[in-house]
Amino acid sequence: MHGPLQTPIMPFSGPEFPLFKKEVIKYILPFFKKKEINDQDRHFINVYLNSINYIKKAKFNIFGIVEKTGSTIYLRNLLYRAKQKKLIDDVIFDKTISLIKRYKINDATLFELILSDCQALKPLEVEKQIPSKAWGDWEEQMNNFPKVFIGYLRTNKNQSPIRIESLNNPKKLHKDYEYILATSKLLPNYGFPAGLDVIDKAARIHSWLGKAAKGYYQKYYLNLALNSKDPTTIISALKSISDGGRKFKNRPKAGRLSINAR
């Protein structure tokens, strides 16, 4: 799969996020086996959790390949494990984290310097859903999300390593990574699995579909804002659906700039 297998989902937990329709749950997600599906079941977090668990139970390993990443998830977890094993103390841990933030070091930039062509880093088991007070009523679901195994693979000497995610610890790690590497070598300059490149071009979401989905969401958000009768929420919703004033086409043309000097 192109992209991460699991992402932090708290931004989608709010009441303004539209529910999935019953038809979608019934026909597109057949593994969602429930005779009577209520509104809570149709919320994004529950649907996403069920989808993730369905992938995890697959008879074969499913990998998510992240092409470009600015994440530090591997670095931070590696440092945290080193601190737990007493390989480094709290002072060194805090200093290293500060350096990562200060110089904006991420996994890809650092591992590009460390890894040679065809080299890889063994997967680390990490928690994608970071515990937070904002979980609120979703705490049970958030705690049930499986951990993710994250590794890196350098597919050629000209590109940054790709991130490889899986929901299960690969039992045949070398063979799985060799397969991903071999398919990436079919695009020698790009260094990304050829199959995913083909699928991306064939399955690209058309702009009209994206605009329709955006329009549906904005309408739903505006209705919620109007029903709340809160001026701040209504203004925020109106701004989200408006074209906005700060656009290039709204810039003053030459000779039309007016300055009122007082």
- Chain centroid to CA 187: 25
pLDDT attached to residue 75: 94
Nearest Cα neighbor of 67 from 152, 134, 175 is 152
Q: In what order do the strands lie in the sheet with 162-166?
A: 63-66, 162-166, 148-153, 120-126
Q: What is the mean pLDDT of each run of 10 residues along the chain (262 residues)?
A: 86 72 78 72 86 90 90 92 93 94 91 94 91 75 92 92 93 93 91 86 69 74 81 78 58 53 50
Mention every residue, 6+ apart, whose C-beta is less than 8 A from residue 189: 156, 158
Global pTM value = 0.74
Tokens of 29: 């997600």
According to the model, what pLDDT value does residue 38 have?
Answer: 79
Pairing of strands 120-126, 148-153: antiparallel
Q: 173 near 120, Cβ under 8 Å?
A: no
Query: What's the pLDDT score for residue 181?
Result: 95
- Note the pLDDT of residue 99: 93
The residue whose two tokens read 């297998």 is 5
Q: Give me 113's structure tokens.
A: 């310097």
Burial of 162 (0-12, 13-18, 19+ CB in 10 A): buried
pLDDT at position 166 is 95
- The pLDDT score that the predictor gives to residue 162 is 94
Q: Which residues lie across from 120 on neighbouring strands?
A: 153
Three-state DSSP class for 220? helix
Would the CA dihedral through 45, 46, 49, 55 be positive or negative? Answer: negative
